[in-house]
Structure 1
């Protein structure tokens, strides 16, 4: 069962060539034969090598550094919020996991209370719910953890919002990257996005490939519109009831009865040394940049300043310039950008 919308493995393009059935069967036989010959030899070495293998894996993990830039644009209020936690303190970290990191962007609408609430509380819920089960079920447990975390954060905010006089009507998108050792899990609601810059070899040259790590949720998408209509809501002018631009969010209590949900879309991506950075941003950036343009804008700055500045300064400069360029191009919305460097 496909638990996540898995992305291509490092070194495998999204249009990977499939092995013909006959060749695949022959390859399986060869591997099986080779495995039987080596099984006995490897068996007696397995126990003494286990400690060494674990140590090598931990030393070979990527190092993540987050950089953020936020611009208010022409709005009266900054309604975005963000979180950068390179080392998330998990209540009970499983023995086979070395490190958990968390980075997130929240784009509020109708006010800033929902985005601020999600930024302050979602990762605490996640840390408490993070699975401590066996490695074989980890994928399934992480999926359940993320779905439950978003649901509880939404319920907690709606409970607080409804207790106010008058009731809060704020809502927020959410794009969260959970990094478990060298695997990225991305959970998102709404139209904030996450993309990965992967440097693949092509004809002897390194080529930048932009991979989407999230899925936009707006009421013009067929599946989203059908859910809203089944719940008794309507879509007019591309908006729920002609007002709300997104079909999934945290908060927006007045639209929950119309099919707006807080169930995130989930993606999983195995990271490796060919991955350069992850870019998280609210829709303010992507109103004036395509994903490819944003990634190449950052890469150009990193390459231009490579001989002049330290890596941290280069990434910070690229992040700041990207947000600034979005405003310069005429984006009147709030713009928040998180640039997450991946180093080995």
Structure 2
């Protein structure tokens, strides 16, 4: 499924059958009949256009109505849950950020936008300083560059904002790292989910990932629903052809699937010693509009995906959400308790399956 193809196809209206003309030997009668036929076709086209417009309007109203049935204010409600495990590592090098309401960081919102949310996972390597720096600074850089006021092409402005934000955060960290004695050599992946009203923008570097669980109706007598797993991010490692070519053009080499035989990712924040070898901080950007059928987003570092496929992780979470009764806690609904349990159990299961790496999971529920 193309995540950018987020508009329904226009309603198709069947073309009318062509009128059958009677034969006449009188040229004037033929001309009159032709004029009448053209007028009739013109009126029919006018009626068809009006019907098509009405069908499209009704279809759009039905779609809006479907979302409003799920979410009273017309926008999905987002809640983030996080679980972090150190695994067998000596230190925790992951970092994360949950900002369900980012509006307090913004000076002003773009016209017609009522909500901005931000969630991110950073997986550090060579130390925890790059991941911590990104967690503390990237969303502030994003807030400074975020579009405001009346905007004609918000998608284009947000794309530019995200690209500029990643570049600025990388430059700021590299400047700080190079000023240290000895210089810091830390680096970090980054996978950030920015939600503007009901539109999700994902920017990622490296091998942390984001996946969406969307429920689809299978049809049939029982009208059952099945889960569909949609990838919201793209991995960046030196074994991918385009990544390897860029590294080699920059004078670097790829050995044993790593840059210079050492670095596992081909894009990152930090890693100053590899920037001259073609390692860049330009994120891959994807966009996806949320629907009434979307259940949750999993945002996690590669520690989870070393032992879970994306589809397995989605089905594991669904299994926990569908389990029986849960222990009640003050201030939390049953739905919130289920999502919290699913997030914690998913991270713990990754460790149980033998992942020795740090594991950080953000589970983002989508509902009312």
What is the TM-score normalised by the length of structure 1? 0.86
- Cα-Cα RMSD: 2.5
Between structure 1 and structure 2, the one with the greater Rg is 2
1:53-110 CA deviation, whole Å, 9 max, x = no partner? 9xx8991111100000000000000000000000003222113100100000000000
Partner residue, 2:229: 210
**8 Å contact kept, 1:58–1:98:** no
Partner residue, 2:139: 123
Partner residue, 1:9: 6
Distance 2:13 2:297 in 1: 34
Partner residue, 2:127: 111
Aligned residues: 315
Unpaired segments ≥5 residues, structure 2: 17-44, 58-64, 329-333
SS at match of 2:276: helix
Pairwise CA distance, 1:9: 3.5
Distance 2:47 2:271 in 1: 54
Partner residue, 1:321: 345
Structure 2 counterparts to residues 1-344 of structure 1, below 5 A: 6-7=3-4, 9=6, 33-34=49-50, 59-88=73-102, 89=104, 90-132=106-148, 134-203=150-219, 204-305=223-324, 310-344=334-368
Task: Quickly say closer, same or farther: Cα 1:314–1:269, change in 2 above 3 A.
Answer: same
Pairwise CA distance, 1:30: 8.3
SS at match of 1:279: strand
Of 58-67 and 318-327, the range deviating more from structure 2: 58-67
**8 Å contact kept, 2:237–2:264:** yes
Unpaired segments ≥5 residues, structure 1: 13-17, 43-52
Distance 1:31 1:108 in 2: 62
Distance 1:323 1:26 in 2: 56
What is the TM-score normalised by the length of structure 2? 0.80
